[in-house]
Amino acid sequence: MEEGSLWQQWSMFRSLLAILQWWGFNVTVIIMNKWIFQKLDFKFPLSVSCVHFICSSTGAYIVIKVLKIKPLIVVDPEDRWKRIFPMSFVFCINIVLGNISLRYIPVSFMQTIKSFTPATTVVLQWLVWRKYFEWRIWASLVPIVGGILLTSITELSFNVFGFCAALFGCLATSTKTILAESLLHGYKFDSINTVYYMAPFATMILGVPAFLLEGNGILDWFQAHPSPWSALIIIFSSGVLAFCLNFSIFYVIHSTTAVTFNVAGNLKVAVAVLVSWMIFRNPISPMNAVGCGITLVGCTFYGYVRHMLSQQQPGTPRTPRTPRNKMELIPLVNDKLEGKV
């Protein structure tokens, strides 16, 4: 009994530690990206995304090939182009749109809009893939949509371009999650193997546009900035932390239950909003804070409903593709940007 109690305490401590380090990496990456755009005046989101992809490719290679911490999931060369490449393209768009939105709108507003992803996923599956969802799923989306509307209407630093980038980022995240069901069928990717295969493709896709669209601007910035080398260290450090974020996702998935992961994910958004406000002091009206709170509560309720439906007994009508386990409750790579790569 005493051994069982000690093991239970250790499991709880490990889960808490996993959640805290996941929060730490996630919030740090978001704040650093915003700092790069706002304080360092490095207004080049394509190049920042490219740096993140390069660092993530390198980190995944070291973890899998050098340190051998994670086994490599072997993918046929043909499948790399027919399956992985299309996923990498959507994955690249998702990350870029997230960084573009961070350039134009506050972290608090961007994070709240990204919480709209469950709604866009359900609507896309219903409209494009003609999938049926129980009324409880639709009902759980009401507070998410209502909270987003309230937050958008009352946002004091509203920017149309940043808002659209964040909203289309939600669509990209939903598309990536849905496409993964068909394109990656037969491959059980974790976050590290996902980065290992997708980040190099994303670098290849984004490298040329970043050079053509932002190359001259970066040269001008380098000459005008008082401390360009220190700033570059911060930019590349954000790339290293972006990879660490993906590694932390792998750790937290294996240390928590599906319900805990869902609740912790929404609390993480609240932590990011609070920390960003403390650092950047962007104005937040009381109704804006209420809208953000309603959205997060709605996301938690949505996750709870999905989990309850997944626990239905065999033979009970269930929502198509309701996640059967915690690995299916999240996208292949976190992009709330979570999780930014």
Per-residue pLDDT reduced to its tens digit, 196-232:
999 999 999 999 999 999 999 999 999 999 999 999 9
What's the pLDDT score for residue 330?
36
Torsion of CA 52, 194, 183, 91, to 10 degrees: -20
- Host domain of residue 17: 11-220+231-311
The reported pTM is: 0.83
Q: What does the pLDDT look like over 170-183, one tens digit per residue?
A: 999 888 888 877 77
For 168, counting Cβ atoms within 10 Å of its Cβ (0-12 exposed, 13-18 middle, 19+ buried), the class is: middle
DSSP structure string for 159-228: -HHHHHHHHHHHHHHHHHHHHHHHHTTT----HHHHHHHHHHHHHHHHHHHHHHHHHHHHHHHHHH-SSH
What's the pLDDT score for residue 341?
52
Domain-embedded: residue 324: no
What's the pLDDT score for residue 2?
60
Domain-embedded: residue 328: no
For 229, counting Cβ atoms within 10 Å of its Cβ (0-12 exposed, 13-18 middle, 19+ buried), the class is: exposed
Domain-embedded: residue 35: yes
What's the pLDDT score for residue 4?
64
Domain-embedded: residue 60: yes
pLDDT under 70: residue ranges of the chain: 1-4, 258-259, 313-341
Domain-embedded: residue 295: yes
What's the pLDDT score for residue 270?
87
Domain-embedded: residue 6: no
The b-or-e profile of 185-213 (16+ CB within 10 A means b, else e) is eebebbbbbbbbbbbbbbbebbeeebeee
Domain-embedded: residue 164: yes
Q: How many CA atoms lie within 13 A of 152 on its CB side?
A: 17
User: Whole-angstrom Cα distance, residue 232 to residue 104?
Assistant: 21
User: Whole-angstrom Cα distance, residue 135 to residue 137?
Assistant: 5
Total tally of structural domains belonging to the chain: 1
Count of C-beta atoms within a 10 Å radius of residue 292: 25
What's the pLDDT score for residue 258?
67
Domain-embedded: residue 263: yes
